Amino acid sequence: MADARVAAPALMIAMNKGAFGRLPPDLKQVIDANFGLEFSLMLARRSDTSETARKPTLASSAQHKIVPLDAAQRAEIARRVRPVVDEWIADVGRQGHDGRALNDRARVLVRARSGAAG
């Protein structure tokens, strides 16, 4: 197991925009009231807590080995993932949003909340 939080960016709740648009206003209000930033942060905290709690168990198991990644390895992962991020930014741009700004803002928020490199 690599000591890299590769699943962290995938923590999200998504709904098809068209399906959401077809919901009656009262159901939209329920979703908006219960699945916003605070809910997302609660899920992220649970994920972080779970990961932190499980690492020592995995590290002490003969069946698992945690492989720490050095800066060069992390940079290589970032280089390989970059085309996917660029594709997402372009796709979001085609939808009329500033994908670069959204990505940059997400990275700032991750760094601010975790102390991790963006």
The model's pTM is: 0.56
pLDDT given for residue 118 in this prediction:
45
pLDDT for 6 beyond 60: no
Gyration radius from the chain CA atoms = 18
Average of per-residue pLDDT values in the chain: 84
Q: Which residues 6+ apart lie within 8 Å of 94 measured at CB?
A: none
| pLDDT tens digits for range 58-74 | 888 888 887 888 999 98
By CB atoms closer than 10 A (0-12, 13-18, 19+), residue 47 is: middle
| pLDDT tens digits for range 28-86 | 999 988 888 788 888 888 888 888 888 888 888 888 887 888 999 989 998 999 999 99
